[in-house]
């Protein structure tokens, strides 16, 4: 039998409370990674003034419970020598703990406790808001962050995808007053029926499943997400430019509206297009970066998202005078990908590159989770993730072209420029 | 240095193969006026054409393997690393060997790498990464006048001066078979070792390498400070002290455990994190290091291949408001004073021991990491027991007084360097010279014990003689 794209077999169950549990023993020895992936992110921040709330709440999850206050949680994780961290994205908030296999049960106990019994007072809440503002200010020193804010705000006018994950500055500054809202947020989203739990690495299937059941089985269901408004179709190209307070090269970020993950074929096509059209062996990269050297960097990626989001192309441009030529070359590439099918040899190379790249990103238990958490949050289990990847690796050239035709429609495009200097 | 053969770490069931080839040369051997040369040479090899093929053709050949060579140049070593799925290992090994043994050194590749390196200094380091800028400024202060002063990226003047002739000369001098150290890890297919070995033997043998002497730190008794003046910047701080200890020596491990207590990289349980972030909310994080940790923004664990004969004990205080900068430095120094004097508090000692016994396994999570650390051990001459294994063992065995002794030898604040990237350099300079600092203005009320500790921190003396404070405009940093 052909090995599947993610070449490890999983054991998957849905507990009575709706928690999806995915256990994947991999070739890694000596470490296991436990991921609690909550299906909430900046996508869910539709209420006015709440941008950045999902990320802020990720910080609050480290404030402990009555049984294990923050200092005790930290002390115990330290005794376990655990690598503990979390991140928030548009569609998910993921928490992980990587540690020695013999300590998995103890980590499950600590994690289950905070997901069920998080407890903090208003003071702690206000303090944490200060740390998030610090993170925002640090982000401002990166010109790409400034550009991302402008791109998203221009591409989306209604949907919360219109703000960066960390949120808008005025909302972050007002966060200390939202203590009650945080309790409501916890009750609505931090529920087993809104969560996927992944255990990967050096792990015993049966024993770890039993342990998960023991600790997470009593978590009460009742997810009640707020509605997310749909973004109207975009029917004309948009363009925005901005400046940076420090010095930067001119930066370009182009966003093309693309379908939600549910429309698998177009999304699979987008993965192929990002590689074949903009990767290091693409004609465009060769021309802009290697031959003409008008761009110093060029890359693209496709969003795998619950609602229609974007296909992104980024370039840092060598000289301000080259910006128009770089935009034009990228737009011509969009047109070419929509008009002509990718030839067989190139498509075969792209598929091989994509598959090898995927497998290389699974090489430690932590990276396994890092790579697959977003897809697991969307698809719910490893089987559908593998199905999706197989689809991407088999998609006929003509079908890829059809995806390009839809995604690279000039009317659904937003070009954001950060004006810069050489 | 090994010239005898490769280091092999077979890992059954591992679906990938890791290949690493190192050369005993880094940016400390950049000729004066050509700062950045070692890294450009390495980039030309790892991301440029070979004699036979252009870079475009090589990229096409690499593409289906999913792999690309990663080039890491530090002060003293240059590493080429490839991770590749088992089924493509042969192709990857042949390509890597072709690039290493017969680099093309084409003018067009030089132009591309020069442009990228200049942008990395002019735009990235100076304007988009204050924390890396602070660390680079600290090393430039601590190793002024030596090959360690500039980062591997180089200087603007150095990069602009590099010619193709420089590349050829540098390559001829340093890329020799006797300077190579290499290994393989993972599920290594049969025949791969001899295939790479044959290819590498085409490197010239050459005479014995003559390295420059280990750079001595420029910090003298007392405190020296460099302030990088950057309009509107909040304060990003690095503090350093020359480290006289080396991996393998027992006191090094005492110091490592004490450093761990102060705060492991990006860990939220260290003492500095607790004092500055957790209790006071001054910034995002605060950590301590016994050895340099390049690329700290992107990595959780220290990369292998960063072997420097001279090191600094370092404290990294992440970006905070300018008026809090001198308070934060005092708080960190007061905590270090106490650690050096009294050791790790009894209640924390067991935690630190248990933590280190387990946490060090994360450094070797992948085949590539394991290989890198094993090659480091060879370079340090740690043949019977590797560095990480030794750290795990001594975490359990080392008596408390030896840990304190290690801390004292590594951290005693007798020769300190302080680097601050800041938008208010004059104000900070004059406060440093006068030995002043103000208490932070908190957003929320703090309990009495925190305010009491604040007073103690503010009493910690910190005066820097005016002539030992330099203010450097950000546009001049690594200009030459």
Residues A203 and A291 in one domain: no
The span from the CA of B130 to the CA of A212, in Å, is 42
User: What was the pLDDT predicted at A136?
Assistant: 87
Distances from the Cα of A127 to the Cα of A123, B151, B331, B445, angstroms: 6, 37, 19, 10
Distances from the Cα of B28 to the Cα of B25, B100, B188, angstroms: 8, 21, 34
Q: Do residue A280 and residue B63 have CB atoms under 8 angstroms apart?
A: yes
Q: Which two tokens stand for residue B248?
A: 């393998």
Q: Do residue A280 and residue B59 have CB atoms under 8 angstroms apart?
A: yes
Count of the separate structural domains present in chain A: 2
For chain B, how many residues are written?
Answer: 480
Q: Do residue A316 and residue B122 have CB atoms under 8 angstroms apart?
A: no
| Within a domain: A230 | no
Residues A153 and A271 in one domain: no
Q: Which two tokens stand for residue B219?
A: 């910090």
Q: Which two tokens stand for residue B351?
A: 């935690």
Chain A hits for B60, CB-CB cut-off 8 Å, are: 281, 349
Q: Do residue A83 and residue B362 have CB atoms under 8 angstroms apart?
A: yes
Q: What's the gap in Å between the CA of B91 and the closest CA on chain A?
A: 13
| Within a domain: A266 | yes
Which residues, listed in sequence order, are joined to residue A24 by a DSSP beta bridge? A200
Of residues B220, B289, B262, B249, the one with CA closest to residue B406: B249
| Minimum CA–CA partner of B353 in chain A | A79
For B449-463, how does the pLDDT look when each residue is reduced to its tens digit (9 = 90+)? Answer: 999 999 999 999 999
Q: Do residue A357 and residue B277 have CB atoms under 8 angstroms apart?
A: no
Write down the mean pLDDT value for chain A. 95
Chain B hits for A70, CB-CB cut-off 8 Å, are: 278
Q: CB–CB of B475/B231 below 8 Å?
A: no
Please, what's the largest Cα pairwise distance for chain B? 72
Q: Which two tokens stand for residue B110?
A: 């030089």
The span from the CA of A216 to the CA of A17, in Å, is 9
A and B: number of Cβ contacts within 8 A: 170
Domain coverage including residue A145: 11-216
Q: What's the gap in Å between the CA of B40 and the closest CA on chain A?
A: 16
**Centroid of chain to Cα B163:** 28
User: What was the pLDDT predicted at B281?
Assistant: 85
Residues A133 and A280 in one domain: no
DSSP secondary structure letter of residue B85: E
Q: CB–CB of A348/A330 below 8 Å?
A: no
Q: Which two tokens stand for residue A111?
A: 């994690």
| Within a domain: A34 | yes
For chain B, list residues with pLDDT below 70: 1-4
Q: CB–CB of B440/B471 below 8 Å?
A: no
The CATH number of residue A174's host domain is 3.30.830.10
| Minimum CA–CA partner of B236 in chain A | A138
Interface probe for A, chosen from B55, B56, B64, B185 (most Cβ of A below 10 Å), is B64
Residues A268 and A204 in one domain: no
| Within a domain: A150 | yes
Q: What's the gap in Å between the CA of A174 and the closest CA on chain B?
A: 13
User: Where in the sequence of chain B do the CATH 3.30.830.10 domains occur?
Assistant: 7-200, 222-476
User: What was the pLDDT predicted at A420?
Assistant: 87
Considering only the beta carbons, identify the residue of A29, A103, A359 that sits closest to B15: A359
For A283-309, how does the pLDDT look when each residue is reduced to its tens digit (9 = 90+)? Answer: 999 999 999 999 999 999 999 999 999
Interface probe for A, chosen from B285, B361, B423, B479 (most Cβ of A below 10 Å), is B361
Q: Do residue A126 and residue B444 have CB atoms under 8 angstroms apart?
A: yes
Q: Which residue has the tokens 């950590």?
A: B287
Q: Do residue B365 and residue A366 have CB atoms under 8 angstroms apart?
A: yes
Residues A27 and A174 in one domain: yes
The span from the CA of A191 to the CA of A38, in Å, is 8
Q: What's the gap in Å between the CA of B323 and the closest CA on chain A?
A: 14
The span from the CA of A197 to the CA of A96, in Å, is 10
Q: Do residue A356 and residue B15 have CB atoms under 8 angstroms apart?
A: no
The span from the CA of A20 to the CA of B108, in Å, is 53
**A153: three-class secondary structure by DSSP:** helix
| Minimum CA–CA partner of B133 in chain A | A141
Residues A298 and A387 in one domain: yes
Reported ipTM: 0.92
| Minimum CA–CA partner of A84 in chain B | B267
Residues A149 and A60 in one domain: yes
Q: Which helix (H) or strand (E) holds A12?
A: strand A11-14
**Residue B448 CB neighbour total at 10 angstroms:** 7
| Within a domain: A1 | no
Chain B hits for A318, CB-CB cut-off 8 Å, are: 115
Q: Is pLDDT of A263 > 60?
A: yes
Considering only the beta carbons, identify the residue of B88, B127, B357 that sits closest to A248: B127
**Which of the four pLDDT bands, split at 50, 70 and 90, describes residue A20?**
very high
Interface probe for B, chosen from A59, A101, A134 (most Cβ of B below 10 Å), is A134
The span from the CA of A359 to the CA of A342, in Å, is 24
Q: Do residue B365 and residue A364 have CB atoms under 8 angstroms apart?
A: yes
Chain B hits for A127, CB-CB cut-off 8 Å, are: 281, 443-444
For B98-121, how does the pLDDT look when each residue is reduced to its tens digit (9 = 90+)? Answer: 999 999 999 999 999 999 999 999
Chain B hits for A245, CB-CB cut-off 8 Å, are: 232
| Within a domain: A6 | no
Q: Is pLDDT of A2 > 70?
A: no
| Minimum CA–CA partner of A62 in chain B | B268
Q: CB–CB of A319/A419 below 8 Å?
A: no
**A223: three-class secondary structure by DSSP:** coil
User: What was the pLDDT predicted at B4?
Assistant: 57
Q: Do residue B16 and residue A143 have CB atoms under 8 angstroms apart?
A: no
**Which of the four pLDDT bands, split at 50, 70 and 90, describes residue A181?**
very high
User: What was the pLDDT predicted at B2?
Assistant: 46
- B222-476 in CATH: which number? 3.30.830.10
Of residues B101, B59, B102, the one with CA closest to residue B196: B101
The span from the CA of A284 to the CA of A415, in Å, is 17
- Tell me whether strands A195-201 and A83-88 are parallel, antiparallel or unpaired: unpaired
Q: Which helix (H) or strand (E) holds B40?
A: helix B37-46
**Residue A119 CB neighbour total at 10 angstroms:** 15
Q: CB–CB of B270/B277 below 8 Å?
A: no
For A307-341, how does the pLDDT look when each residue is reduced to its tens digit (9 = 90+)? Answer: 999 999 999 999 999 999 999 999 999 999 999 99
Distances from the Cα of B401 to the Cα of B270, B404, B411, angstroms: 20, 5, 15
Residues A187 and A78 in one domain: yes
The span from the CA of A94 to the CA of B147, in Å, is 43
Q: Do residue A356 and residue B88 have CB atoms under 8 angstroms apart?
A: yes
Interface probe for A, chosen from B271, B350, B362 (most Cβ of A below 10 Å), is B362
Chain B hits for A244, CB-CB cut-off 8 Å, are: 127
The mean pLDDT of A346-362, rounded to a whole number, is 95
- Tell me whether strands B7-10 and A251-258 are parallel, antiparallel or unpaired: unpaired
| Within a domain: A169 | yes
Chain B hits for A278, CB-CB cut-off 8 Å, are: none
Q: What's the gap in Å between the CA of B265 and the closest CA on chain A?
A: 11
Q: Is pLDDT of A33 > 50?
A: yes
User: What was the pLDDT predicted at A232?
Assistant: 97
Interface probe for B, chosen from A32, A70, A320, A356 (most Cβ of B below 10 Å), is A356
Ramachandran bin of A193, using left for φ above 0, alpha for ψ from -120 to 50, beta for the remaining angles: alpha
For B347-382, how does the pLDDT look when each residue is reduced to its tens digit (9 = 90+)? Answer: 899 999 999 999 999 999 999 999 999 999 999 999
Q: Which residues, in sequence order, are CB contacts of A394 under 8 Å at separation 6+?
A: none
Interface probe for B, chosen from A299, A317, A360, A371 (most Cβ of B below 10 Å), is A360
Domain B7-200 fold = Cytochrome Bc1 Complex; Chain A, domain 1 (3.30.830)
| Within a domain: A202 | yes
For chain A, how many residues are written?
Answer: 422
């Amino acid at each position: 039998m052909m090995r599947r794209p993610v070449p490890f077999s999983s054991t998957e169950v849905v507990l009575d409370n709706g928690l999806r549990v995915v256990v994947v023993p991999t070739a890694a020895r000596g470490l296991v990674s436990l991921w609690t992936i909550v299906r909430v992110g900046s996508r869910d921040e539709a209420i006015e003034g709440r941008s950045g709330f999902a990320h802020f709440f990720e910080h609050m999850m480290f404030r402990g419970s009555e049984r294990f206050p923050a200092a005790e949680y930290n002390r115990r994780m330290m005794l376990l020598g655990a690598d503990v961290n979390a991140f928030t994205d548009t569609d998910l908030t993921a928490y992980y703990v990587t540690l020695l296999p013999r300590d998995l049960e103890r980590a499950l106990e600590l994690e289950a406790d905070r997901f069920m019994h998080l407890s903090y007072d208003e003071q702690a809440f206000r303090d944490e808001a200060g740390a998030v503002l610090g993170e925002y200010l640090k982000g401002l020193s990166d010109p790409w962050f400034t550009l991302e804010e402008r791109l998203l705000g221009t591409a989306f006018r209604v949907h919360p995808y219109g703000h960066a994950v960390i949120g808008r500055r005025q909302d972050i500054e007002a966060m200390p007053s939202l203590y009650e809202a945080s309790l409501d947020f916890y009750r609505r989203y931090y529920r087993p029926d809104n969560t996927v739990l992944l255990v990967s690495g050096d792990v015993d299937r049966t024993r770890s499943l039993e342990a998960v059941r023991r600790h997470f089985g009593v978590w009460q269901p009742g997810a009640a997400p707020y509605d997310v408004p749909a973004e109207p179709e975009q029917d004309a190209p948009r363009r925005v430019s901005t400046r940076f307070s420090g010095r930067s090269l001119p930066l370009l970020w182009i966003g093309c509206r693309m379908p939600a993950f549910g429309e698998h074929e177009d999304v699979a096509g987008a993965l192929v297009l990002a590689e074949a059209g903009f990767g290091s062996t693409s004609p465009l990269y060769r021309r802009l970066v290697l031959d003409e050297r008008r761009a110093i960097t060029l890359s693209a990626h496709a969003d795998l998202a619950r609602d229609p989001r974007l296909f992104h192309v980024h370039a840092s441009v060598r000289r301000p005078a080259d910006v128009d030529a770089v935009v034009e070359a990228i737009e011509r590439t969009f047109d070419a990908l929509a008009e002509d099918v990718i030839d067989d040899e190139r498509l075969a190379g792209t598929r091989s590159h994509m598959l090898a790249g995927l497998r290389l990103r699974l090489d430690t238990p932590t990276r396994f989770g890092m790579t697959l958490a977003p897809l697991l949050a969307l698809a719910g289990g490893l089987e559908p993730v593998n199905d999706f990847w197989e689809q991407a690796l088999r998609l006929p050239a003509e079908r890829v072209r059809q995806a390009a035709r839809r995604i690279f429609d000039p009317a659904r495009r937003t070009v954001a420029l950060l004006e810069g200097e050489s | 240095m090994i010239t005898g053969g490769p280091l092999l770490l077979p890992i059954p069931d591992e679906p990938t193969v890791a290949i690493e080839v190192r050369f005993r040369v880094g940016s400390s051997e950049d000729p004066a006026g050509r700062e950045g040369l070692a890294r450009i040479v390495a980039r030309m090899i790892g991301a440029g054409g070979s004699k036979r093929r252009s870079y475009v053709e090589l990229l096409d050949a690499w593409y289906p393997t999913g792999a690309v060579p990663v080039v890491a140049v530090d002060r003293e070593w240059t590493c080429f690393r490839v991770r590749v799925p088992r089924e493509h290992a042969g192709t990857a090994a042949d390509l890597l060997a072709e690039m290493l043994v017969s680099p093309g050194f084409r003018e067009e590749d030089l132009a591309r790498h020069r442009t990228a390196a200049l942008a990395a200094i002019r735009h990235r380091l100076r304007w988009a990464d204050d924390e890396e800028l602070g660390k680079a400024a600290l090393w430039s202060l601590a190793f002024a006048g030596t090959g360690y002063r500039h980062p591997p990226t180089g200087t603007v003047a150095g990069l602009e001066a590099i010619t193709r002739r420089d590349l050829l000369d540098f390559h001829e001098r340093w890329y020799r078979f006797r300077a190579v150290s290499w290994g393989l890890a993972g599920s290594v297919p049969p025949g791969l070792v001899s295939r790479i070995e044959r290819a590498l033997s085409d490197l010239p043998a050459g005479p014995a390498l003559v390295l420059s002497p280990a750079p001595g730190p420029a910090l003298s008794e007392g405190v020296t400070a460099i302030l990088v003046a950057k309009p509107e910047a909040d304060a990003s701080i690095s503090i350093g002290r020359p480290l006289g200890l080396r991996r393998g020596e027992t006191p090094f491990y005492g110091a490592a455990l004490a450093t761990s207590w102060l705060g492991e990289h990006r860990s939220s349980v260290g003492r500095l994190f607790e004092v500055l972030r957790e209790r006071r909310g001054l910034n995002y994080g605060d950590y301590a290091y016994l050895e340099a940790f390049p690329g700290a923004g992107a990595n959780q664990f220290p990369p292998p291949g960063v072997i420097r004969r001279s090191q600094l004990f370092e404290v990294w205080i992440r970006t905070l408001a300018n008026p809090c900068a001198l308070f934060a430095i005092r708080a960190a120094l007061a905590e270090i004073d106490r650690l050096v004097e009294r050791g790790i508090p009894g209640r924390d000692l067991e935690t630190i021991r248990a933590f280190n016994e387990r946490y060090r396994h994360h450094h070797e999570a992948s085949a590539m990491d394991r290989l890198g650390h094993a090659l480091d051990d060879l370079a340090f001459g740690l043949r019977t027991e590797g560095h990480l294994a030794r750290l795990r063992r001594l975490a359990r065995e080392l008596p408390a007084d030896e840990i304190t002794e290690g801390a004292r030898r590594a951290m005693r604040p007798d020769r300190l360097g302080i680097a601050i990237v800041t938008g208010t350099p004059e104000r900070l300079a004059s406060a440093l010279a006068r030995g002043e600092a103000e208490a932070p203005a908190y957003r929320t009320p703090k309990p009495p014990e925190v305010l009491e500790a604040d007073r103690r921190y503010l009493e910690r003396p910190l005066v820097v003689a005016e002539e030992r404070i330099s203010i450097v405009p950000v546009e001049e940093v690594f200009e030459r």
